[in-house]
Every structure is written in structure tokens, then in C-alpha cells.
Amino acid sequence: MGAVLILTAVLALVTFLLVRSGELKVWHVLLIGVLGIYLDRIGWANPVVYAVSWLVQGLTHTTT
């Protein structure tokens, strides 16, 4: 769960910096947020969360 929180914070920071630089408009961010809400309503949010968690765990997995 901690990795997902860190990933969310990093994505929020990147989004903020892109909006501030003018590369990403505020309406783009709002549209993506609305898309996320609708994905959650139709039940696609859990598979996306599981896929991102799997990817993050795979990239940060270390063998000893």
C-alpha cells in the first residue's frame, strides 16, 4: 500500500509541474480525473490498481 501512495504522490507532483510549465492544461487534468471517476464507477479501477501495484512490486523487487 505504501508503494501506491508514493506513486500517487509522484504522479500528482509531475501533473502539477506539467500544468505549471504550460505543457498540460488544467482541462486535461480535469478530463483525466473525470475518466478516473467513471472507470471506478464501472468497476475498472480495481484491475488498474492491481496492475499498477504488480508493476511497482515487480520493478522494486530485490532478490537477496
The pLDDT value recorded for residue 28 is 84
What is the H or E stretch that residue 61 is in? Answer: none
Taking the C-alpha atoms of residue 7 and residue 58, their distance in angstroms, rounded to an integer, is 14
| 22 vs 7, higher pLDDT | 22
Is residue 1 over pLDDT 70? Answer: no
Cα 56–chain centre separation: 11
What is the H or E stretch that residue 42 is in? Answer: none
The pLDDT value recorded for residue 54 is 87
Angle, in degrees to the nearest 10, between helices 45-60 and 2-21? 100
> What's the pTM?
0.51
What three-state secondary structure class fits 25?
coil
